[in-house]
Amino acid sequence: MSIEPAWSGAFDRGAIHEVAALPFAGVREWAFGGSTGAGVRVAVIDSGVDAEHPRVGGVVGGVAFHLDAEAEYGYVEDEGPHGDLVGHGTACAGIIRSIAPEAEIYSVRVLGANLKGRGALLHAGVEWSVEHDMHVANLSLSSKAEAMFGPLHEVADQAYFSGTVLVCAANNLPGPTYPSQYASVISVASRAGSDELALAYNPHPPVEFGARGIDVDVAWAGHGSITATGNSFAAPHVTAMVALMRSKHPWLTPLQVKAVLHAASDNSVPGPDS
């Protein structure tokens, strides 16, 4: 078994306690049952996506952001086809595709070949997702830069009010990172298990949800696969759940999506007034 990433301890066996939820009878079936994610636009903000990987099966479109000191905002935006510089984004897209096979995946590349990037590019990727009316965006990345706290908070709120659900992986190391710390996003850490739809709620945030993310077989570069552990791979499980949910119930707001995920968590029980 791999070493658990930071924030995963809240979802260890024995650490998960029951939490009171809204009294939705059969909420999981209502939320996910029979859905394929059809009609839902999903942005994978990452290192790019290999559209030809058999586990991805194509992308609808996307954009790549590159640093450029001479550009007005310090970066340039190239819309159109591009590859994955690492394999990380392809892994996330493959997970989403396995759960929501008919979701429309868009690749938003903001990371370089070293799997690192500037906060300004992350900000640009989220902003692009909002401007292009993505229903949900997967962010298996984050920024530790204090200077990005305000700008990323602002664009996360913009997404929230515009109807784009941001699903954000917590950092694998302890300490605050953004935007996973914000209340306007759905924050995710890893938990053990093989069930792709397993979900647990943590009543003591900042990380609210735990999903499968330990020893996961994921797509990777060169049309291959690897076994990987990390909060990065837990987040796309939840992103896919959101895609299933918004495909069946497109009227759900980001606030309602989070409430339904809370009620659909494995450790949720009907509230005391139900």
For residue 243, the model assigns a pLDDT of 98
* Options 46, 88, 123, 237, the catalytic residue: 46
| Residue 268 is among the residues annotated as catalytic for this protein | no
- What are the tokens at 202? 């943590």
Tokens 């570069």, located at residue: 221
| Residue 35 is among the residues annotated as catalytic for this protein | no
Q: Are 67 and 121 in contact (CB under 8 A)?
A: yes
Over the stretch 99-119, which tens digit does the pLDDT of each residue have?
999 999 999 999 988 888 889
Q: Are 238 and 196 in contact (CB under 8 A)?
A: no
Can you tell me the mean pLDDT for 218-240? 97
| Rounded distance between C-alpha atoms, residue 108 and residue 169, angstroms | 16
pLDDT at 271 over 80: no
Angle at Cα 23 formed by Cα 18 and Cα 27, nearest 5°? 90
Q: What is the DSSP letter of 5?
A: P
| Residue 8 is among the residues annotated as catalytic for this protein | no
- What are the tokens at 151? 């700008």
- What are the tokens at 251? 């009227």
| Rounded distance between C-alpha atoms, residue 35 and residue 237, angstroms | 15
Q: Sketch out the chain's domains with CATH numbers.
A: 8-269 (3.40.50.200)
* Options 35, 50, 82, 184, the catalytic residue: 82
* Options 47, 225, 232, 265, the catalytic residue: 232
Q: Tell me the percentage of the chain whose pLDDT exceeds 70.
A: 92
Q: Is 128 helix (H, G, I), strand (E, B) or coil?
A: helix
- Which pLDDT band, with edges at 50, 70 and 90, does 54 fall under? very high
Over the stretch 161-201, which tens digit does the pLDDT of each residue have?
999 999 999 999 888 999 999 999 999 999 999 999 999 99
In 10 A of CB 28, how many CB atoms?
17
